[in-house]
Amino acid sequence: MSVTDAETPDPRRWKALAVLGLIQFMLILDVTVVNVALPRIQDDLGFSQAGLAWVVNGYVLMAGGLLLLGGRMADILGRRRLFLLGVGLFAIASATCGAAVDPGMLVASRFLQGAGEALAAPASLGLIALLFPDPRERMKALGMWGGIAGLGGTSGTVISGVLVNYASWRWIFFVNLPVALFALLVVPRLVSESRMVREHARPDYAGAITGTGGLIAVVDGLLEAASHPWGSWQVLLPLLGGVALLLLMVYVESQSRSPLIPLEFFANRTRVVTNFVTLFFSSSFFSYFFLLTLFEQQILGWSPVRGGLSYLPFGLSIGAGIGFGTAMMPKVGVKPLLAGGFFGCAAGLFLTSGIDVHSTYAAHVLPGMIVLGFFSGISFPAIGNAALHEVTGQDSSLASGVQSAFQQVGGAIGLSCLVTFALRHANGQIGDGVSRAVASTSGYAVAWRIGAVLLVIGGLLVVFLLEHVIATPRSPEAEAIEDEPVVPVPG
């Protein structure tokens, strides 16, 4: 297509953004929607405490491990096609999650759900990048898309609480079906197909498989450390096996004619730094929800609906943060917002880590929740824009896949590490005669403090390494897409 065509805004772009945002809301919702339901799922299906983490990690590991492959496949085979395929797979997996009769079936279905996101999410963000070729309009669309995703993550707890309390935990998965069906019917009418042209078009499946397998093994080893010594074979075998698979992936990628991430992608310092510090952000964000839910329901004895509603201020504060960050980004740039967001999130976690078994919601949970929510909201649009800095339409889905992969992988590894630290700390105190409730609460606090330290480190890396980035017009040539009819969408 011509440069002029690439620069012409598609009149359907805002309707398309609404539908794509709805699906992203659903995908992110399913990362957090299980959190409030975890205690009920544990009782109903007989999960162990460490095994329960797989209900979250099974999803995010497959999503994170295969997102790069999904991004490449979307760029090569067609973004709309991969988006629809991913949504269809996600819907099937949602149905089997809701019908699960034992832990194995639920975890396997969560893995399948994650694979569906790995196909749909980068294709969706890639479509947005093409639909909005104007840099400032794209920044606005990306901020809205990121905001919808962030609200999906927080409102999941409220939705889950209501469904679990008044229906069943199974309905947190069944509700995905009508949303997915709506997208499958509407998206083909609003979004044109788009793909890139590459000399060697075959994606690197071997790299994706070895990388995903390595991540799963590493997380398994970390979770086994919650109940076994670090030097035991139950811990060392999966850890060493996972590291070996990850090293094999590096070798495979170095030999591939079409690697998942071309080396030139790492030439942009802003993208590299942003993706790296996302690991710290996701580790803390995922762990906050997982552990606070257990604290509220198992230590304080709250019902699922009360626990879910307790997160409502988080959603409101994150929405305020997103609005503030999106409005300020064109004026001050990404760097101060991202650094401030990380430091503010660390403060929120430190506040939350002051809980004990006698804590009240208003005095001990709410202050940290509001601070963490607001500064998380500031971080979301900043991360999204910095991760796509100077990305052309050719690699829009790849860049979004890399960013999403770092989010998911950071969340899975961080959650497994922090849950392990919390459980080991609690088990040590229980062995010393401390009550289970007091020991568990102390373990949660330790995990949050570690997460806060990680966020401070991430903020410092942003301050010292990130470039100063403000949206500026780019050359038409940089936006041109080398292919058949393409819809301009921000990505």
Per-residue pLDDT of the chain (491 residues; tens, 9 = 90+): 333 344 566 677 787 787 887 787 787 777 777 878 888 999 899 888 778 888 988 888 888 778 778 877 877 777 888 888 999 999 999 999 999 999 999 999 999 999 998 888 777 777 776 777 776 777 777 777 766 766 666 677 788 888 888 889 999 999 889 988 988 888 888 776 766 555 455 677 888 888 888 888 888 888 888 778 888 998 999 999 999 998 998 888 888 877 877 777 777 888 889 989 999 999 998 899 889 989 999 899 999 889 888 988 988 898 899 889 988 988 888 899 999 999 999 999 999 999 999 999 999 999 999 999 999 999 988 887 888 776 665 566 567 767 777 887 888 888 889 988 999 999 999 999 999 999 999 999 999 999 999 999 999 999 999 876 664 434 333 343 333 333 333 22
* Element holding 107 (H helix, E strand): helix 103-131
Measured CA to CA in angstroms, residue 293 lies from 6, 226, 365 at distances of 47, 19, 11
Let me know whether 239 and 386 are in one domain: no
If DSSP states are collapsed to H, E and C, what string results for 345-396? HHHHHHHHCCCCCCCCHHHHHHHHHHHHHHHHHHHHHHHHHHHCCCCCHHHH
Let me know whether 156 and 300 are in one domain: yes
Let me know whether 337 and 438 are in one domain: yes
Is the separation of the CB atoms in 155 and 29 below 8 Å?
A: yes
Which residues, at least 6 apart from 194, have a Cβ–Cβ distance to it below 8 Å?
78, 79, 80, 126, 127, 130, 393, 481, 483, 484, 485, 486, 487
The total of other beta-carbon atoms located within 10 Å of residue 233's CB is 11
In a domain, 366, yes or no: yes
Let me know whether 333 and 347 are in one domain: yes
In a domain, 491, yes or no: no
CA-to-CA distance for 154 and 314, rounded, in angstroms? 7
Task: Tell the burial category of 331 from Cβ atoms under 10 Å away from its Cβ (0-12, 13-18, 19+).
Answer: exposed
Q: Residue 9 has what DSSP assignment? A: P
Chain-centre distance of CA 187, in angstroms? 23
Q: Residue 441 has what DSSP assignment? A: H
Is the separation of the CB atoms in 36 and 293 below 8 Å?
A: yes
Let me know whether 262 and 246 are in one domain: no
Measured CA to CA in angstroms, residue 277 lies from 43, 219, 287, 344, 389 at distances of 36, 19, 16, 15, 15
CA-to-CA distance for 17 and 402, rounded, in angstroms? 21
pLDDT of residue 452: 97
CA-to-CA distance for 196 and 23, rounded, in angstroms? 23
In a domain, 406, yes or no: yes
* Element holding 409 (H helix, E strand): helix 396-431
Which two three-digit tokens encode residue 417?
């590490």
pLDDT of residue 478: 38
C-alpha closest to that of 114 among 134, 127, 97, 101:
97
CA-to-CA distance for 22 and 182, rounded, in angstroms? 10
Let me know whether 211 and 288 are in one domain: no
CA-to-CA distance for 174 and 98, rounded, in angstroms? 6
C-alpha closest to that of 413 among 318, 316, 287:
287
pLDDT of residue 102: 92
pLDDT of residue 333: 85
Let me know whether 161 and 242 are in one domain: no
Measured CA to CA in angstroms, residue 376 lies from 213, 217, 346, 408 at distances of 30, 30, 10, 16
Let me know whether 166 and 251 are in one domain: no
Enclosing domain of residue 241:
205-255
Q: What is the pTM of this model?
A: 0.78
* Cα-based angle 209, 86, 147 (whole degrees, multiple of 5): 105
pLDDT of residue 366: 96
Domain of 182, CATH number, reads 1.20.1250.20
Let me know whether 96 and 220 are in one domain: no
Measured CA to CA in angstroms, residue 228 lies from 266, 324, 420 at distances of 38, 46, 10
C-alpha closest to that of 156 among 139, 141, 169:
169
Measured CA to CA in angstroms, residue 427 lies from 220, 228, 431, 446 at distances of 19, 11, 6, 13
CA-to-CA distance for 403 and 412, rounded, in angstroms? 14
In a domain, 435, yes or no: yes
In a domain, 427, yes or no: yes
Let me know whether 200 and 230 are in one domain: no
pLDDT of residue 473: 36
pLDDT of residue 150: 61
pLDDT of residue 474: 40
In a domain, 473, yes or no: yes
In a domain, 301, yes or no: yes
pLDDT of residue 396: 61
pLDDT of residue 483: 36
In a domain, 490, yes or no: no
pLDDT of residue 491: 29
Which two three-digit tokens encode residue 194?
């788009």
Handedness of CA 87, 92, 95, 99 (dihedral sign): negative
The domain boundary, picked from 220, 255, 290, lies at 255
If DSSP states are collapsed to H, E and C, what string results for 181-240? HHHHHHHHHHCCCCCCCCCCCCCCHHHHHHHHHHHHHHHHHHHHCCCCCCCCHHHHHHHH
Let me know whether 92 and 223 are in one domain: no
Judged by DSSP in three states, 436 sits in helix
pLDDT of residue 399: 74
pLDDT of residue 482: 35
Domain count, the chain: 2
Let me know whether 304 and 213 are in one domain: no
Measured CA to CA in angstroms, residue 306 lies from 33, 40, 159, 310 at distances of 14, 14, 11, 6
Which residues, at least 6 apart from 174, have a Cβ–Cβ distance to it below 8 Å?
94, 95, 98
The total of other beta-carbon atoms located within 10 Å of residue 433's CB is 7
Measured CA to CA in angstroms, residue 483 lies from 6, 204, 266 at distances of 10, 21, 25
pLDDT of residue 479: 40
